[in-house]
Structure 1
Amino acid sequence: MTRADVAVVGGGPAGSAVAWHLAAAGASVVLVDDGRGPWRPVGQQLSPAALPLLRDLGVADRLTAPAAAPVHEARSVWSHESAVDLRPALFSAYGPPLAVDRAALDALLRDAARRAGVRTLRAHVKAARGPGGWHLTAVSPAGRPEPVAGPAAVLVDATGAARARARRLPWHAADRLRCTVWRARPADAGRQSWSLVEAVADGWWYSAPTPGGGLTLMRVQDRTAVHAASTPPPRTAQRLADLPLPPPAAVRAVPVGCADPPWADGLVAAGDAALALDPLSSAGLHHALDLARPAAAAALGLLRRDPRTAAAYARLVREALARHLTVRRTVHAAAAPRYTAEPFWRRRASGG
């Protein structure tokens, strides 16, 4: 059984980055990944501001084709169907955003953690406090629980908002959305190297390229929206040459909010388990990487029984959510004039 100062559960970007920072600081770390593929609600788009963070981890130069492709322009259709806002990435200091293969990115980050000295395990585990700290157990094929790691003095929960939210830490909920995702092919043979957000009466549609020339499409609605046939709006339909959509690849409830606070005695939440943002922002990956260092500092502080770095981490998480919600209200208000009578937009434009 693997012993460590810190056990990190969740092998996505947040878990691997936190584990890397902990190992770089000299902690003994085990990273547990359950092997389940990530759900990719926003077309795997990586903000260019995240590239320096990946460079620190030694990953940026390895994130190349076919694992990544540039997205040279962001397009949006908000207040009027005929008005398209164009935002080229030409003048970004870090270059264009990247459409990334999340499975490939996650593998690169886990490899970076291993090279930093993190021990990795592949298992679906349950964590429980016991003598000496946190103990992780997996269920064997015979149905018996098998210890796989522990005891660890601190547990970092990087399992995502959907699973972590109902567990050990209080959650401040700002919104809850339902996202339906499709994998499709573009209308033309060339790569459509731009993203598109298009408002509709009950939400919006997002579409963006994927490495390899495909398209990810996402429909965002209220979590209580009635299921209905999905017909893409005009600009989105043009990307598909008005061809019918394939069956959905995934349907998920997506929370917007944060763990408040994102820590407790011997426990730190990271990534979406600490801060989950509106999928319209395409900022989830960036925040997961950006907050990995302070999350690791929080865990190190708890190892020393000093909660000050954890309290500082909590402030960063709350401030990040507050900034996000301010921008979110402004963006949503832009669509409200077009849909003044629609509950989805009226509630969100008012901050609800």
Structure 2
Amino acid sequence: MPPRLLEVTDVTVVGGGPAGAASAIRLAQLGHRVVLVERAERGRPHVGESLPPTVLPLLQTLGVGERVEAARFLRPRGAIVQWDGLLRDVRDDARDEPGFQVDRGRFDALLLDAACACGVTLLQPVAAAEPQRDGGAWTVPLRDRRVVRSRVVVDARGRRSMAGSQPATAALYAYWRDVNHIDPRTRVEAARDAWYWGAPLPDGSFNATVFIDAARCAGVPRAQRALLYRELLAESTLLRSLLNESSP
């Protein structure tokens, strides 16, 4: 059965994460017809939960500022930073609004709902093959045998995009329960061969992430990665004390 043409549109956005959804919303606001293609089910968990205060003007431009505030995500001020052997208490200006610590499943769904409200055609869940140049236009074949044709393609798939590359850094992470943390601020720490990021999330869990050279994980079985993750956490000054009596 040959593929059938879904529709001709102005812009096809491939990837429904925050970057893709924000692009689709803004393009629709500017009067373009937009089709947004996302391969994953709505509400999937995802890392990348911290939104700094600098994102607030963008949320307002996209018309989602009030929706994000109504979602009652955590709003920490500043961070606790261990860098070059020095402990710093980094505080945002009290006169400014704080950023957000979001639940990515809920946040991503919120942006997709806003895109649909702007008139964006959302195709989800459906995977897209590589966009193909076709004369003066682009075609995006979908795995369900449909095709979207448009003048412009926005490839917002991150590392899977046409311009993507293999990461130089790998992130090992887990969501911990019953963490003995005092405040909602982000923890950031640098070590000799790794750096650490940790933050409490709206559901009461704590995301503890270790960033290392990707070569250290290449070809390593899952169980060994979990062991490496715990060994690295044990070397962290900021996260070790928080996670001693917790479990992922």
Q: Determine if the TM-score, normalized by the shorter chain, exceeds 0.5.
A: yes
CA drift of 1:125 comes to 1.3
Aligned partners of 2:117, 2:177: CA distance in 1, in Å? 37
Q: Which runs of 5+ in 2 are unaligned?
A: 1-5, 218-224
- Local SS of the residue matching 1:180: strand
- Contact 1:99/1:211 (<8 A) preserved: yes
2:221 matched residue in structure 1: none
Q: 1:130 aligns with which of 127, 134, 153?
A: 134
1:152 matched residue in structure 2: 150
Aligned partners of 1:134, 1:12: CA distance in 2, in Å? 21
CA drift of 1:196 comes to 0.9
CA drift of 1:53 comes to 1.0
Q: 1:11 aligns with which of 8, 16, 27?
A: 16
1:88 matched residue in structure 2: 91
Letter in 2 for 1:243: E
Task: Count residues in correspondence.
Answer: 227
CA drift of 1:89 comes to 2.6
CA drift of 1:65 comes to 6.4
Aligned partners of 2:24, 2:205: CA distance in 1, in Å? 32
CA-to-aligned-CA distance 1:62-110 (integer Å, 9 cap, x gap): 1146551111230111222xx42001235252x1221011121111211
Matched, 1:105 2:107: yes
- Local SS of the residue matching 1:84: strand
Matched, 1:220 2:211: yes
- Local SS of the residue matching 2:183: coil
- Contact 1:69/1:210 (<8 A) preserved: yes
CA RMSD of aligned residues (A): 2.4
Q: 1:183 aligns with which of 175, 183, 204?
A: 175
Letter in 2 for 1:96: P
What TM-score do you get using the length of structure 1 for normalisation? 0.59
Aligned partners of 1:225, 1:56: CA distance in 2, in Å? 41
Structure 1 residues 9, 100: closer, same or farther in 2, change over 3 A?
same
2:160 matched residue in structure 1: 163
CA drift of 1:47 comes to 0.8
What TM-score do you get using the length of structure 2 for normalisation? 0.81
Letter in 2 for 1:39: H
Aligned partners of 1:3, 1:198: CA distance in 2, in Å? 49
CA-to-aligned-CA distance 1:317-338 (integer Å, 9 cap, x gap): xxxxxxxxxxxxxxxxxxxxxx
CA drift of 1:191 comes to 6.0
Matched, 1:31 2:36: yes
Letter in 2 for 1:199: A
- Contact 2:13/2:155 (<8 A) preserved: yes
- Contact 1:75/1:195 (<8 A) preserved: yes
Aligned partners of 2:105, 2:70: CA distance in 1, in Å? 13
Q: Which runs of 5+ in 1 are unaligned?
A: 141-145, 247-352
Aligned partners of 2:241, 2:112: CA distance in 1, in Å? 38
Aligned partners of 2:182, 2:56: CA distance in 1, in Å? 22
CA drift of 1:130 comes to 3.0
Aligned partners of 2:139, 2:45: CA distance in 1, in Å? 25
CA drift of 1:139 comes to 2.7
- Contact 1:75/1:87 (<8 A) preserved: yes
